[in-house]
């Protein structure tokens, strides 16, 4: 698989995997630049959170603090080498409801862009780059983020990879 074939692997995690994460998976699975899966943290979840899914994902989106806590208990957040983003969305929606879809798109747009985009927009690439850099040490141009940036048509100079972790946020 060459760099242009790389798709960012996105995991959506909620409690039951019936409403929030499943809706997000269905919305973003049409994106050609993403591979998307969803799961739940509860023992009775339709598709349960597993070590294999955690290993597969490059970025993880959760919907509330209970999922952050569950991931921390099972996998130790500090040792994860990937970002976990809490979208802060309560479990009050119906599957694929208009309100849920609108809120999901608004909350995910800064990170992934819109579900119908052909690729990740520049503002989202920059946000993802910052998230990835915060979780991973700077490395040669063979990093997952470099492959992703290349896949979405954004090139960056080697100097940006080595940039120190200053707080220019």
pLDDT at position 89 is: 96
Interacting residues of 102 by C-beta distance below 8 A, sequence separation 6+: none
CATH class of the domain whose range is 7-119: alpha beta
pLDDT at position 140 is: 41
Edge-to-edge strand order for the sheet containing 8-14? 34-40, 8-14, 59-62, 84-86
86 forms bridges with which residues in the sheet?
A: 62
Domain extents for the chain?
Answer: 7-119
Quick one: 110 exposed, middle or buried, by C-beta within 10 A (0-12, 13-18, 19+)?
middle
pLDDT at position 100 is: 96
pLDDT at position 4 is: 53
pLDDT at position 137 is: 43
Alpha helices in 48-141 (DSSP H): 51-56, 65-75, 98-112, 122-135
pLDDT at position 96 is: 93
Query: Which residues of the chain are modeled with pLDDT < 50?
Result: 1-3, 137-141, 156-169
Q: Indicate the pTM of the whole model.
A: 0.77
pLDDT at position 134 is: 78
pLDDT at position 88 is: 95
């Amino acid at each position: 698989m060459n760099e242009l074939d790389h798709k960012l692997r996105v995991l959506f995690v909620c409690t039951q995997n019936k409403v929030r994460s499943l809706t997000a998976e269905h919305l973003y699975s049409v994106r050609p630049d993403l591979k998307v899966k969803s799961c739940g943290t509860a023992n009775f979840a339709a598709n349960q959170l597993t070590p294999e899914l955690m290993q597969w994902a490059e970025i993880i989106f959760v919907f509330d603090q209970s999922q952050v806590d569950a991931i921390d208990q099972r996998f130790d957040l500090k040792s994860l080498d990937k970002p976990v983003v809490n979208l802060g969305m309560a479990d009050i929606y119906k599957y694929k409801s208009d309100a849920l879809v609108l809120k999901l798109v608004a909350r995910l747009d800064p990170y992934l862009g819109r579900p119908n985009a052909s690729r990740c927009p520049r503002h989202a690439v920059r946000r993802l780059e910052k998230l990835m850099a915060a979780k991973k040490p700077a490395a040669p141009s063979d990093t997952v983020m470099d492959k992703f940036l290349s896949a979405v048509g954004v090139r960056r100079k080697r100097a940006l990879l080595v940039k120190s972790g200053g707080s220019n946020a």
